Amino acid sequence: MKPEILVEISLPRSGAIPAGQIIAAYKASRFEPVALVLNGVSAGSVNKVLDPVVPTLPLDIPGIVYVDICDSARLGRLLCGARMLVASTPWLRTAAELAGLEVCRSLRPAPAAAKPVGMTLVVTPPPLQPVASGRLTRKPRRSAALAAASSSVGG
């Protein structure tokens, strides 16, 4: 089963691994696979965060897969099939929009005692649109979207 939920894992300004975000993504993977888009964070670092968490959940869950943000071919395929993306960098937001995903909303820390989530944006596919035949369709996705985003950022 191909992940339709992607969560970007990148280092915040503090340089600390976003353990809460990683653990939340893993717990969400109880219901369907989740792809962690690693941006400046190694798979080994993520594994260290998850080592104490994995034994607390059943072993038959769909789980997570890692994809490096530099693997543009694989990331492009995942973006084109994504239902939801949690992105924390402008580069990935741009790549998602070029792949046909529509910006849904920004996540901001709630006032008072709420903890910041470290995630800045959620994007989802555009809503279904009726076409002349009466069927519902989505806005077409551009296959070269990720390549265009890569060239515009210099990577």
Residue showing tokens 């993306």: 85
pLDDT of residue 97: 82
Listed in sequence order, the residues at least 6 apart from 19 whose beta carbon sits closer than 8 Å to its beta carbon are: 49
What is the domain extent for residue 23?
5-153
State both tokens at 128: 């279904």
- The residue ranges of the chain whose pLDDT is under 70 are 103-155
Q: What is the pLDDT of residue 33?
A: 94
Tokens at 52, concatenated? 């104490």
What are the tens digits of pLDDT across the range 11-39? 888 889 999 999 999 999 999 999 999 99
Provide the CA 115 distance to its chain's centre, in angstroms: 20
